[in-house]
Chain A
Amino acid sequence: MKRILDVARLHNVAWVAQLGWPWGIMATSLVINILLFASIDEAAPGKTSTGGLSSLYITTAIVAAISISQVFPFALGMGVTRRTFYLATVLVNVVQAVVYGVLLYLLNLIEGGTGGFGIGLHFFRVPYVDVSNGLLQVAVYAVPFLFLNFLAIFAAVWYVRYGTNGFFALATATILVLGLLAVLVTWQGWWGDVWHWLSTQHQISLLVGWPALVAAVAALGGMAAIRRANA
């Protein structure tokens, strides 16, 4: 375990890049949104929500992917095993998702307490994703980090192992499978059933349950792929 913690330091020793960019970009987005909505005289009720928060998730996922493609070759060169490196990566990403979830929840409370930064802005209180239970709200914020990061990590591990051609082959295969699935659903006229299934899913299943399951599968896939990867 100590070795895993030591290796985890590889990910956050240069914390400016790991923390600074995602939150910096999100803060910029927040400021722009506040200025934008403050400059609109009468924002229509319910129209003061924004997708600005997604910038944090996307940047965090990019940081996770870069950390694989850059930190892994360095770790291997320092005598770290693939297994230890990957477990440390999982640890860092899970802890990070929880911490980010708590931070977003606190920002959510601040936004609520200040009446949406005084202008009724819904930056952190995203409609549908805004739930009443505090602990649940942390999970709702945290799980999408896991979902996106572990998909990004899986893609990055695949790239490290199989190179550019392998990476695009995987992308092509994914498009092919998903595309054919869509064709099949359309051909069979199953879209109604699909929407029905989605609409009967509990909000928590859609926001937490299913994404967490996909994240877990991607994380296991990454583990399997990295065991034979060479930098």
Chain B
Amino acid sequence: MSVVAAVGLTKRYRDVTALEDVTFTLEENAIYGLLGRNGAGKTTLMQLITGQNSVTSGDLTLFGGRPYENEQALMKVVFIKESQKYPSAYRVKHVLTLAGRLFPNWDEEFAQSLVDDFNLPRKREVRKLSRGMTSALGVTIGLAARAPLTFFDEPYLGLDAVARQLFYDRLLSDYAEHPRTVVLSTHLIDEVADLIEHVLLLDRGKLLLDAPSEELRGEVMDATGPAGVIDEFAGSRTVLHREQLGGTVRVTLRGSFDNAERLRAKKLGIDLEPVSLQQAVVRLTMERNTDR
């Protein structure tokens, strides 16, 4: 059974369509990257899955049931978001106590070790924490909750590079011991590229891409070579991007290349290399936007 299944999922706010006809599934024990520009609909999608907002049309199931007001399903989910509000009277230790009661799989020892790792002051009021420390608190809850479905929506705002690395490391090691479904929504694509097993790319409310990240990486390539032969080599492939510097042209091409083609490229003096996940996402998003 899929953890999440969406068919024709649509969400409209008065005159804005935040999500349009989105169909996908989230499977057990995988790390997903939910990518897209600001306003692409990432947060809306996560709000619908976690029952924080209601679906306009389409079908959405979470652990086999509708998420809205579904206690049994929602107890298996943790949703860590940058915009999470905390009551002004709460201190760090209060939040940890409450999370321990609300999440069935909570690991207190793990939570305490994360608090130490991030140097979180247990007695400080949450509203007095810095941006980065608030994020660290969210990350701590999200990891220690060990929920079968874990969402991180831009969880690293204000976190320094060391703390972010700490987050990625802890996530990976805990995921190895306690596999679950993790959805990372982020703009720092290159940072999480090695973590993500599957990419969901949203653009203007539509699902642009739903593919394993390995496949995606081989799917978008940069070809650099003399202007004369590049276009011939590109042939009928979709050219996502093209830039020319003197006699040398670099094109970003979509589609995989077999060994024969790679050999041909070499003979033509064309340098063929895969682009980073971030570049692939940027090129694919921009291609769609120029199509309109």
A79 on interface, CB distance cutoff 8 Å: yes
B14 on interface, CB distance cutoff 8 Å: no
B173 on interface, CB distance cutoff 8 Å: no
Which of A13, A71, A73, A81 is in CB contact (< 8 Å) with B69? A81
Taking a contact as CB atoms under 8 Å apart, the answer to whether B81 and A14 are in contact is no
CB distance from A225 to the nearest CB of B (A): 14
B232 on interface, CB distance cutoff 8 Å: no
A47 on interface, CB distance cutoff 8 Å: no
How far apart are the CA atoms of A67 and B50 in the complex, in Å? 22
Number of chain A interface residues as a range: 20 to 34
Please, which residue of chain B has its CB at the minimum distance from the CB of A231? B52
Contacts A6-B101, A76-B52 given: A70-B69 contact, CB under 8 Å? no
B87 on interface, CB distance cutoff 8 Å: yes
How far apart are the CA atoms of A76 and B102 in the complex, in Å? 11
* B: number of interface residues (CB 8 Å): 31
Which of A16, A71, A82, A83 is in CB contact (< 8 Å) with B87? A71
Taking a contact as CB atoms under 8 Å apart, the answer to whether A227 and B102 are in contact is no
Q: Which residues of B (55-75) have their CB < 8 Å from a CB of A?
A: 69-71, 74-75
Q: Which residues of A contact B290 (CB under 8 A)?
A: none
CB distance from B77 to the nearest CB of A (A): 5
Taking a contact as CB atoms under 8 Å apart, the answer to whether B101 and A79 are in contact is no
B119 on interface, CB distance cutoff 8 Å: no
SS class, residues of chain B in contact with chain A: loop
A228 on interface, CB distance cutoff 8 Å: yes
Q: Which residues of B (98-112) have their CB < 8 Å from a CB of A?
A: 98-99, 101-103
Q: Which residues of B contact A14 (CB under 8 A)?
A: 87, 89-91, 94
Q: Which residues of A contact B259 (CB under 8 A)?
A: none
CB distance from B40 to the nearest CB of A (A): 20
CB distance from B208 to the nearest CB of A (A): 27
How far apart are the CA atoms of A10 and B79 in the complex, in Å? 18
| Interchain Cβ contacts under 8 Å between A and B, 22 examples | A3-B71, A7-B102, A9-B98, A9-B101, A10-B87, A13-B94, A13-B98, A14-B87, A14-B89, A14-B91, A74-B86, A77-B52, A77-B79, A77-B81, A79-B77, A79-B103, A79-B147, A80-B102, A81-B70, A81-B71, A83-B71, A230-B52
* A residues at B contact (CB < 8 Å): 3, 6-7, 9-10, 13-14, 16-18, 67, 70-71, 73-74, 76-84, 227-228, 230-231
List 13 extra interface pairs beyond A14-B91, A81-B51, CB under 8 A: A13-B90, A13-B97, A70-B87, A73-B85, A74-B87, A77-B85, A78-B102, A79-B75, A79-B79, A81-B69, A81-B74, A230-B47, A230-B52
**What are the 4 tightest A-B residue pairs by CB atom distance, in nearest-first order?**
A14-B89, A17-B89, A70-B87, A6-B101
